[in-house]
Amino acid sequence: MLERFSRVETARALSEAREVLQGYEASALAGVAETLAGVAESLERTSRELREAGQDEWIDVEETAAYLKRNPKTFRNIVVSEDVPRHYLTERGVLFSRREIDEWLMGR
């Protein structure tokens, strides 16, 4: 009889633990879903801005340095010490518009 009681209690405890873990799992998944929704919204906004501005003209830091005939280190020094050309921070890094780089150069 004592053995049955402990099996019943063990089964009850395991059942309660399973319910707690399922609640935790649902909560964790909801947090992940919320984070992914925020990332998707950010990517959509960045994508829309890049499309509106003309995707072909966007270049990264290294390409911008080459466009200005500077090495990346020299270009970074220019950006730190002077008025920074308009740029966009994305998950993939910093992007510059060729058109805006040209306008920045003409205004210097």
pLDDT tens string, the chain, 108 residues long: the values are: 445 568 888 888 888 888 888 888 888 888 888 998 998 898 888 878 777 766 558 888 888 888 888 887 777 777 766 667 777 777 778 888 888 888 888 877
User: For position 1, what pLDDT does the model report?
Assistant: 45
Q: Is 107 helix (H, G, I), strand (E, B) or coil?
A: coil
